[in-house]
Structure 1
Amino acid sequence: MPAWAQESEEQDREAPIRNSSVAKTEILVSARRDDAFTLRENYTGSSTVIADYQLEDRQVRDIAEALRDVPGVAVSGVAGQTQVRLRGSEANHVLVLVDGIEVSDPFAGEFDLGTLQAEPGARVEVLRGPQSALYGPDAIGGVIAYQSASGRDLQGFSARIEGGTQGTANGAARYGANGQGWDAALSATVVSTDGQPNARPIDGGGTRDIGRDSYTVSGKGSVEAASGLTFRAVGRYILTEGRFNNSDNDPASPTFGFIVDSPGTRFENEAVYALVGARYEALDGAWTHDLSAQIADIARDTFGAAGRTNGSEGDRLKASYVTAYGFDTGAVSHTVTFAVDWERERFRNTDPSGFAFTGRRRIENTGLVGEYRLDARRFDVSAALRHDINDRFADETTYRIGAGFDLTDTTRLRAAAASGIKNPGFFELFGFVDGRFIGNEDLRPEKSEGWEVGIDQSLFADRVTVSATYFDSELEGEIFTTFPPPTFVATPGNRDTVSTQKGVEIALAAALGRAFSLNAAYSHIDSEEDGTTEVRRPEDIASAALTWTAPDDAASATLVVRHNGAALDDAFTDPSFVPVRVRLDDYTLVNINARVDLAEGIELFGRVDNLLDERYEQVFSFVSPGRSAVIGLEARF
């Protein structure tokens, strides 16, 4: 099992060309269900890999920040919730996998990316476009798969510690080891900051710092119990504590509907994830069987000056069996895969008032998956079909087909079509406990169908690659929030009209001589709901990361520039609480960092984020952090 994450011998960490987007040995694991890897050059859809050394070069601490460099991705974050949208979809349309575990909160149906910290040796895969045929509900927009390093990928002990402005104190430690037929790794990370104000400085306000502390402990390992039989286990614990500010709910106040300093308000999110599995290979590895079980247990609480004000508990139990058979007919390889998934999600309000229903609610789902893949020298074909059996909703069938063709040795054409589905979440079905959002148990699942075409072009002996993709999809039954009179209390419903998402994604990766590498991305996305532009989805997003590396990797420096175009958002500044559409200005963030080796295995590093001290809002009235700087040491033995 650990073999999937190993880099090819051709992809040398010390080589002058350190850009994995250029290297043709790059692999994808999340693109298929049989846990075997696929060369990215043979994938028939749109994908991006953020390699371990790219995370290191950009000194990424929050994975959400690295996702800003992926085409088609829009990131918006506030204290206690960071959302990621793929290709104009909703945040709860994106499936997030961490070491193969589905990590979304059953209550909200999405994962807070702000709680996912970068560990040494980790990597990220992003599949864009509907993936429900492989993974079931929650994957309308695509899949984000985070993989920590195993004991075979990164051996020995490593640690880093850093400190800086706003009381920042971060640290990470990791140990990995392996032997004949076994491997193990243990990792711990801490991200802590006093933060900066996130309320607008109106009438003397906007002075309360919004800090947070996030702690992660994770481990993974595998052991070969017998020839062809391997057992594996993964575990992860995340605790995030932080402050937040509320909006002003006094209609007579000049700041009504705006975020204001709210002393005493804070949140605490705690999550436990675990997976155990067994894999057996028969017929010299041609026929594989994989059985796994996983659990996610998430608790979220908010507090005010007088104590706990709200809370929820959600858990997910999931079991999967995947079997695959591969065979060759001449120069053509075939793989046939069958999978069955069973999933149970449960949720319970933990409202301290005693007035809300605090019983446990549950939803069950069983999915049957069939997948076929053909790999030839110049062309590739993939097809997947899934049938979901739901206990609360109507049964659904989703599909995905794709093909890729190497027109020349340097030009590849690809196309794919797929459908997706998203079941309503618990809060949409049953509402909030404070009476401001009434649930709707008659909601039906959202359905998506779309297609894409793309071209990948290599230039200058594979030192430069350019990819361009056009996509077009439609969403039926989109769940939206309505505010019916006379109470104007929010409640969800399904739209009768069609919502559309279409756009262009462009990515460039280049090795500029022996010292510089460049990654750049641009997206233009037109996402409309009933003919109106969707909120928090900039039409234009761009990024570029330029890295300089000294000979023998003795030092390096990286400049990252990220631009978000103007976007729309909803502001609750009307006393009826019916939202008013507002415009969020565009912004550009500039980050710079550098590192230098002090001795063998020890390096000094530093970075400045938001170098130009840009003042901007990702969400209406939530002011995002200004300039910050840190310096630190890292050691590896």
Structure 2
Amino acid sequence: MRKFMATIMLAAGASSSALALAQGPGAAPLADTPADGGIVVTASRSGDPVSGDLVGSSVTVLDSEALELRQTRILSDILRDVPGVAVSRSGAIGGKTDIRIRGSEGNHVLVYVDGIKASNPYQGEFDFAHLIADENARVEVLRGQQSALYGSDAIGGVISYTTLSGREAPGWSLRAEGGSFGTFSTAGRAAGTVGDSFDYALSASYLTTDGYPTAPGGTRDIGSDNLGTSARFNWTPGPDFRVTAVARYNRTKADYNDQAITAASPVILGYPVVTAVDSPGFRYRNSSFSGLLGAELDLFDDALTTALSGQITDVDNDNYNAFGYSYGNRGRRYRANFVNTVRFGNDRVRNRFTAAIDYEREEFRTVDPYGYAFTGKRHIDNWGFVTQYDVTVDDRLALGASARIDANDRFGDTTTWRLTGSYILPTATRIHAAWGTGVKSPTATELFGYYDGVYIGNADLRPERSRGWEAGVEQKLAGDALVLGATYFRNRFFDQIETAYAFVNGSYVSTSRNTGKTSRQRGIEAYANARFGDWRVDAAYTWLKAPQTVLVLADPAPANGGWQDPVEVETQAIRRAKNIASFNLSYVPQDLPFSATLTVRHNGRQRDYAFNSNYQYLLADLKAYTLVNLAAAFDISRAVQIYGRVENLFDENYQEVFTFATPGRGAYGGVRVRF
């Protein structure tokens, strides 16, 4: 941390001298809001806008201004600035990108994009490699167990990414930029209103890059092409009735490297281990389409709201090697939601009761041109029944309770619950707390495998479960211009699912199993947000203690090269550093056509898995690193802006995932036109 703080001071000194529509799952249109303490929609199934000051759970809002000032192109990059969040990308842009919250796994984080559940039905999680940032968007990160509201996957929390509506962010814009590693990106947006009842927003973003070598000592550049498009329409024929339609299409084509043991492989405890190697011809293509159609009706002067929506997510993934098509998978999800909300009370005491019914069917199959895998279609059906009650007193005290029953045709019924509370003292001090449970159903590949006789499914798996609580304090100072906050949390995970490798009949096989063990996580999240005149400061810090018992090789390799039995070792969970921090300083003078932002991100020492020739686990150490970015923009006129940024200013050499190289210093510049 001393190195991190010194870097902040050095970079800050150098720099000084030189919610639009926030529609989470089932939400109603909202105005754009500032970060932390603004309006939140993911904390309630009603879709009602809720002040962040009245939410017992920890939540961070990244507004459209933050995305623009930090010149965010890959959405996962700005998530590094959220307390409790750990990000890991396997190599270059397009490499698998996992988000972990409070020590959870990547598939323990539920992701909504424009109100649509976005995870791949086949893989059981969302890969952030396929989401590039749109112009005019907003992110909410709701942390802690949220399964009582949203069901499976929401053990670590919920991330909701939303493009802004035409009514809240009207106008046309076009952006184009180029830079290091043969990178070119562009984005466009057309949004507005037609009369008083209709608004629209059409957006598209494209990023292509030649990339760089990700294999140690390699020469093959790993490039990618990434396209994202969205269309949002809202029709309000009367003050009490609304119809919303959303369509999104995303496509990623990217190179990747295979892994093998070579003469240049790293050596751990005397074992040469599997490493990334140049693999000409290896690439993948991922495409997804998703759509949502919903309607809301208000009755009795907004005392009762009934909402009905349906959505579809269709994901295709295909992989190629040097000889042609290798394998692929198909996943499709159908969802229907029926939500009723009743509001009652008076000016002092406001009550809200919400009941929801969710239906979901996931269909999936493996594509295998060689005939080794079962390629028939399988499916899982799930019904969810939700109740939520919230009460607010004098806009100071907020209490909430929610419960959910999921009826799954593979696992039977599961019940989750959550309690929350928040209170604002007369000193502008807010205390908040939450306590609840979470669940994660096994994925398609864990249940059924995907390569007969090699990657074997386990139909007897049980859902993973979690229970945890948090308590925090937040202080507003200088007339709300400065917000300081800290939260302590503790979690327990039960029946976690792990991959097990074995040597059977002369070949290696893998399957999934419930460990039957309990793991515990605890940590502290702290943040500071300041708005003083022309200056904006956003800082975050996370301390995480996430012990994990793993079965690994802990002694040097036998001299004769023979077999060694693994032993149980307790270590910090892989790819989750104990210390993560970020610092963003923006200067946006009102009287000058200029803005500048300094971003510093620190990731502490962490561990990752490595594999020897017998596919036994070893632990690899990854050093701490600190990355510094500088961004600036200049308005030539009211319609034209030029901008530029430098990423990894000090050319840090680091790894996020073992053996995968990361980019060095890069510079980018472009022009934006608004009209």
Instruction: Identify the TM-score tier after normalising by the shorter chain.
Output: over 0.9
Per the alignment, residue 535 of structure 1 pairs with 574
Counterpart contact for 2:539–2:582, Cα < 8 Å = yes
Match of 1:133 among 141, 148, 155: 148
Per the alignment, residue 316 of structure 2 pairs with 299
Distance 1:109 1:533 in 2: 24
Per the alignment, residue 580 of structure 1 pairs with 618
SS of 2:651's equivalent in the other structure is coil
| Counterpart residue identity of residue 545, structure 2 | D
Which is worse superposed, 95-104 or 612-621? 612-621
SS of 1:600's equivalent in the other structure is coil
| Counterpart residue identity of residue 590, structure 2 | P
Displacement of 1:519 after TM fit?
Answer: 0.6
Match of 1:193 among 202, 209, 220: 209
Displacement of 1:492 after TM fit?
Answer: 1.1
SS of 2:456's equivalent in the other structure is coil
SS of 2:275's equivalent in the other structure is coil
1:123 aligns with 2:138: yes
Task: Evaluate the alpha carbon distance shift between residue 438 and residue 532 of structure 1 in structure 2; reply closer, same or farther with a 3 A threshold.
Answer: farther
Distance 1:141 1:604 in 2: 39
Tell me the alpha carbon deviations over residues 191-238 of structure 1, each in whole angstroms, 9 at most, x when there is no partner: 11111111112xxxx111111110111100111234522111000000
1:269 aligns with 2:283: no
Per the alignment, residue 458 of structure 2 pairs with 440
Distance 2:581 2:321 in 1: 39
Match of 2:65 among 53, 63, 70: 53
5 Å matches for 1:450-529?
A: 450-486=468-504, 487-511=507-531, 513-529=532-548
Displacement of 1:407 after TM fit?
Answer: 2.2
What TM-score, normalized to structure 1? 0.95
Displacement of 1:488 after TM fit?
Answer: 4.6
Task: Evaluate the alpha carbon distance shift between residue 42 and residue 271 of structure 1 in structure 2; reply closer, same or farther with a 3 A threshold.
Answer: same
SS of 2:258's equivalent in the other structure is coil
Counterpart contact for 1:399–1:419, Cα < 8 Å = yes
Per the alignment, residue 598 of structure 1 pairs with 636
Tell me the alpha carbon deviations over residues 468-516 of structure 1, each in whole angstroms, 9 at most, x when there is no partner: 00000101100012223455522111012101111000011112x4222
Distance 2:45 2:660 in 1: 40
| Counterpart residue identity of residue 71, structure 1 | P
Task: Evaluate the alpha carbon distance shift between residue 64 and residue 253 of structure 1 in structure 2; reply closer, same or farther with a 3 A threshold.
Answer: closer
Distance 1:605 1:137 in 2: 42
Per the alignment, residue 184 of structure 1 pairs with 200
Per the alignment, residue 166 of structure 2 pairs with 151
Per the alignment, residue 420 of structure 1 pairs with 438
Counterpart contact for 1:320–1:342, Cα < 8 Å = yes
Tell me the alpha carbon deviations over residues 502-540 of structure 1, each in whole angstroms, 9 at most, x when there is no partner: 1000011112x4222111000011112334421111111
Counterpart contact for 1:2–1:222, Cα < 8 Å = no
Distance 2:211 2:658 in 1: 19
SS of 2:446's equivalent in the other structure is helix
Identity of aligned residues (%): 43
Per the alignment, residue 448 of structure 2 pairs with 430
Distance 2:263 2:615 in 1: 10
Which is worse superposed, 267-276 or 486-495? 486-495
Counterpart contact for 2:197–2:238, Cα < 8 Å = no
Task: Evaluate the alpha carbon distance shift between residue 295 and residue 226 of structure 1 in structure 2; reply closer, same or farther with a 3 A threshold.
Answer: same
Match of 1:241 among 253, 275, 288: 253
Counterpart contact for 1:177–1:183, Cα < 8 Å = yes
Structure 1 unmatched runs, 5+: 12-19
Per the alignment, residue 625 of structure 1 pairs with 663
Displacement of 1:30 after TM fit?
Answer: 1.0
What TM-score, normalized to structure 2? 0.89
Match of 2:178 among 145, 152, 163: 163
Task: Evaluate the alpha carbon distance shift between residue 77 and residue 435 of structure 1 in structure 2; reply closer, same or farther with a 3 A threshold.
Answer: farther
Displacement of 1:117 after TM fit?
Answer: 1.5
Displacement of 1:284 after TM fit?
Answer: 1.3
Displacement of 1:6 after TM fit?
Answer: 3.7
Task: Evaluate the alpha carbon distance shift between residue 303 and residue 335 of structure 1 in structure 2; reply closer, same or farther with a 3 A threshold.
Answer: same
Displacement of 1:124 after TM fit?
Answer: 0.2
Counterpart contact for 1:5–1:149, Cα < 8 Å = no
| Counterpart residue identity of residue 88, structure 2 | S
Counterpart contact for 2:53–2:422, Cα < 8 Å = no
Which is worse superposed, 296-305 or 77-86? 77-86
Tell me the alpha carbon deviations over residues 48-84 of structure 1, each in whole angstroms, 9 at most, x when there is no partner: 0000001000000111000000000000012431100
Task: Evaluate the alpha carbon distance shift between residue 567 and residue 289 of structure 1 in structure 2; reply closer, same or farther with a 3 A threshold.
Answer: same
CA RMSD of aligned residues (A): 1.7
Structure 2 unmatched runs, 5+: 1-19, 23-27, 267-271, 550-569
5 Å matches for 1:238-387?
A: 238-249=250-261, 257-329=274-346, 331-377=348-394, 378-387=396-405
1:70 aligns with 2:85: no
Per the alignment, residue 15 of structure 1 pairs with none
| Counterpart residue identity of residue 199, structure 2 | D
Task: Evaluate the alpha carbon distance shift between residue 319 and residue 553 of structure 1 in structure 2; reply closer, same or farther with a 3 A threshold.
Answer: farther
SS of 2:410's equivalent in the other structure is coil
Counterpart contact for 1:367–1:386, Cα < 8 Å = yes
| Counterpart residue identity of residue 216, structure 2 | R
Distance 1:349 1:306 in 2: 19
SS of 2:390's equivalent in the other structure is strand
Displacement of 1:267 after TM fit?
Answer: 0.8
Distance 1:107 1:181 in 2: 39
